[in-house]
Amino acid sequence: MARRMIVYTLILGVVISTAGMLLLIRTSTMPPTHSQLLFSDDFHGADLDRSKWGTCYPWFKTAGCTNHGNPELEWYLPQQVSVQRGVLHLTTQRSPVDGFDAQGHAKTFPYWSGMVTTAGHFDFTYGRVEFQARAPRGRGLWPALWLVPADGSTRPEIDVMEAYGEDIWQVFLSYHGSRNYTSQRVAFVNDISSGWHSYVLDWRPDSVIWYVDGRRWFTVDQSVPHKPMYLIANLAVSGMSPHEPDGSTPDHARFDIASVRVWGP
């Protein structure tokens, strides 16, 4: 594939106010490959906009849920999702909660947590996704921003970002194209828990490109998806070695998101 040079500008100086503090958010101005704003949320209201977001995976018909495809320790609940002063908070807390396993049997999970998804509200094919987010610090905490198919299939999956709270200088950028094709790159960045970072995915018919804080880090041009996908943001707690929580993991932690935008062709 002939690759075009991508020109980007890093702009410092977009400021929001939250909890009485002014916070600097990094934003990136990208070329007009995708020019139509399809979806946006700056979380200015007092509550989550339920016309845009749900708080569980769409295949669950209950108020709570988890990802049974991974060894995770959290049970997602709507009360762990909140909006305050222009920021979406996904909050995890260490406290036993009743849920169920993949076979539907009762199971107690050691953590409550929060997630949001646009499933059933918004999906798209090709476009530029932009998140402004601040990840939590703490062993076992596993924040992620990702896309999955609207038709209910598990592949392809595009991970705009995921990270582990014990290593706050690495962001994993991944593409799970099929059971037989996965590609991943690690972006080395400044502390993802101490400030706001920009995560951008540019999904085109012939490629998928990842940017972190305006820098192009990763490109995939094989098995590019051509089906509608929706957004997920979640704060999981890992049950996988070597990322399990320990005595240093905070009892409460938040994954904060200041804005979400999707631009289309």
Tell whether 162 is covered by a domain.
Answer: yes
C-alpha span between 103 and 38 (Å, rounded): 38
Greater confidence, 224 or 7?
A: 224
The count of structural domains within the chain is 1
- 81 touches 90 (CB < 8 A): yes
**How confident is the model over 230-254, as pLDDT tens digits?**
999 999 999 988 899 999 999 999 9
Q: What's the pLDDT band for 178 if we cut at 50, 70, 90?
A: confident
Tell whether 43 is covered by a domain.
Answer: yes
C-alpha span between 8 and 237 (Å, rounded): 34
DSSP assignment, residue 169? T
CATH value at residue 226 = 2.60.120.200
pLDDT at residue 253, rounded to an integer: 98
Q: Looking at the predicted structure, is the pLDDT value of residue 30 above 60? A: no
Domain that holds residue 98: 9-264
Rounded to an integer, the average pLDDT of 62-85 is: 96
Q: What's the pLDDT band for 185 if we cut at 50, 70, 90?
A: very high
Phi, then psi, of 174 in degrees rounded to 5: -135, 150
Q: Three-state SS for 79?
A: helix
Stretch among 26-40, 153-167, 198-212 having the lowest mean pLDDT: 26-40
Residue 205 to residues 51, 128, 221, Cα–Cα distance (Å)? 28, 12, 9
Tell whether 41 is covered by a domain.
Answer: yes
**Residue 91, CB-side half-sphere exposure with 13 Å CA sphere:** 14
Tell whether 172 is covered by a domain.
Answer: yes
Tell whether 3 is covered by a domain.
Answer: no
Tell whether 2 is covered by a domain.
Answer: no
Phi, then psi, of 177 in degrees rounded to 5: -75, -35
Residues 55-58: contacts with CB within 8 Å, 24+ apart? 55/81, 55/114, 55/115, 55/116, 55/117, 56/115, 56/117, 57/115, 57/117, 57/119, 57/232, 58/117, 58/119, 58/120, 58/152
Tell whether 4 is covered by a domain.
Answer: no
- 115 touches 54 (CB < 8 A): no
Tell whether 1 is covered by a domain.
Answer: no
Greater confidence, 222 or 29?
A: 222
